[in-house]
Amino acid sequence: MKQEAKRLRYLSFTDKGYALALKLAHHLGGEASRCGGISRCIGVSPCGEVSPSVACGASPLVKGETSRCGGKFCGKISRFETVSHCGGVSHGGSVSPLLDCDAPSVSQDGSSCNGEIPHCSKISRFEGEPCYDKISLKQWTAENFRDVDVLVYVGACGIAVRAIAPHLNSKTSDPAVVVVDEGGQFAISLVSGHLGGGNDFARAVAEACGAIPVITTATDVNGVFAVDEWAKRQNCHISNPGKIKVISSALLGGGRIGIKCFAEICGNAPQGVRQVQDKEDYQVLVDFHTGKDGERLKLVPRIAVLGVGCRRGTNEKQLEGRFQSLLAETDLAEEAFCQVATIDLKKNEPGLTVFCQNHGLPLVTYSSETLAKAAGAFSASAFVKDVTGVDNVCERSAALASGGTLYCRKRSGNGITMAVALAPYAPDWRWKDE
């Protein structure tokens, strides 16, 4: 199964591990690297010749797959540039020490040493040097830790622990880290098992290579409701993650917790958990407004869409000022916003682009024709219609993008209009794959 939604990186510590990393990258997506260097001799160029470099557009071959010349990839990668399509390499009849396959020996000029026809029509130029772009374990980890969703180390668990230790920050921001031994026997969820999806990805790795998934989080081991995993599946931001352990400890100790939510939670509640009514005591609050709630865990559903209209040349500071004013006026939590919407005339507006980037929010745009068809009652402006072709931008775009209803109508100031719509929210009790 491909993990298309996540950015994945694999790093192996040995040549044997690199073959496994390539296999995982093929099945689950992502990019594989070899500690001490990234092998460039991993594919066949579009012209059918052996590729001496990934930079030429070569694509990896996977064990069992056939190259354009009919050769088979043996699962091993050569250090040298003289690579045939089957993975066999040689120079003057000597086979690369990294290979363990039945590829024929091929001489430097392209003819086979034993009179047989080589698997590929040409052999790349032999220079006798490793075909590696040097990279260290420390460097690779530093470059990928903040920008990747899942890191998979193929090798010893202790090496991975020492590599990631300087970069660990918080369970809400750290990527998932999974370690699989080079023999493909165990897939260990090491970091961010719940919020980062490490447990689920460890299971996916195990399925891909026939390993045993090793999951050590207490709630999973004991089959107890994991509130952080539930929050992630219900599309909620966790405002005070330090309270997660309070909830988990209570459940692991046989206690009960109440969850207060503005919407009905569908399905059968897990053991020890229930949805409470307004006047009952609760330990978890699901709400999209600002404000802390004492010792309770606060979860903010990401359901708010910000509709924006603005003059040409409006900068990000002006947009930020208007947005902060709107938050203060509506008591909405900033973490509740999941998207920004506007008319397509503004899709390349620099200030709006930077504003969205600063908040990590995607921008969706609509044509004036589409906005005009939005269902509902909206504020109307003859001036806006003359300029854009539709009588309202912020309210209509917010309503369309959310698929729900307006929560806050147009607020104006400094040539900027903003409105908020809330997407339908139907939480359920799912917190793990059945």
Tell me the C-alpha distance between 178 and 281, whole Å.
38
Q: Are residues 168 and 199 in the same domain?
A: yes
Residue type, 54: V
- Domain-located, residue 322: yes
Report residues of the chain scoring pLDDT below 50: 1-5, 37-133
| Residue 255's CATH number | 3.40.1390
Contact call for residues 154 and 20 (beta carbons, < 8 A): yes
Q: How far is CA 6 from CA 44, 146, 196, 336, 393, in A?
A: 26, 13, 10, 22, 33
Q: How far apart are CA 411 and CA 401, in angstroms?
A: 18
Q: Domain boundary at 153, 181, 216, which?
A: 216
Identify whether 311 is part of a domain.
Answer: yes
Answer yes or no: do 378 and 309 share one domain: yes
The whole-angstrom separation of Cα 26 and Cα 63 is 10
Whether 199 and 142 share a structural domain: yes
- CATH code of the domain covering residue 406: 3.30.420.180
Residues 259 and 279 in one domain: yes
In a domain, residue 196? The reply is yes
Could you tell me which residues come within 8 angstroms of residue 220 by beta carbon, excluding any fewer than 6 positions away? 193, 199, 226, 432
For the four alpha carbons of 285, 224, 184 and 138, in that order, the dihedral sign comes to positive
Give phi and psi for 47, each to the nearest 5.
Answer: -80, -5
CB-count burial class (<10 Å; 0-12, 13-18, 19+) for 313 = exposed
The answer to whether residue 269 sits within a structural domain is yes
Q: Tell me which of 173, 188, 216 is where a domain ends.
A: 216
196: domain CATH number?
A: 3.40.50.11220
**Does 266 share its domain with 322?**
no
Cβ atoms of residues 112 and 95 within 8 Å: no
- The parent domain of residue 208 ranges over 8-16+134-216
Strand-pair partners of 199: none
Exposure string over 388-413, b if 16+ CB within 10 A, otherwise e: bebbbbbbbbbbbbbebebbbbbbee
Mark which of 216, 251, 269 sits at the end of a domain: 216
DSSP codes, 92-156: TTEEPTT--S-PPPB-TTS-BTTSPPPSSS--PPP-SS--EE---HHHHHHHHTTT-SEEEEES-
d(CA 100, CA 357): 49
Helices (H), 237-360: 244-252, 316-330, 350-359
Distance from C-alpha of 337 to C-alpha of 90, rounded to nearest angstrom:
58
Is 61 part of any domain?
no
CB 303 within 8 A of CB 261: no
pLDDT of residue 6: 65
Residues 279 and 138 in one domain: no
Rounded Cα–Cα distance for residues 369 and 384 (Å): 14
Tell me the C-alpha distance between 411 and 402, whole Å: 18
Residues 412 and 314 in one domain: yes
47 domain-assigned: no
d(CA 371, CA 210): 51
On whether both 153 and 12 belong to a single domain, the answer is yes
Same domain, 181 and 249: no
Q: State the residue for tokens 């420390």.
A: 138
- The alpha carbons of the chain give a radius of gyration, in whole angstroms, of 28
- With respect to residue 29, please indicate whether it lies within any of the assigned structural domains: no
21 within a domain of the structure (yes/no): no
Same domain, 283 and 308: no
SS3 state of residue 201: helix
Count the domains in the chain.
3
On whether both 315 and 297 belong to a single domain, the answer is no
Same domain for 316 and 408, yes or no, is: yes
> Using an 8 Å Cβ cutoff, are 191 and 174 in contact?
yes
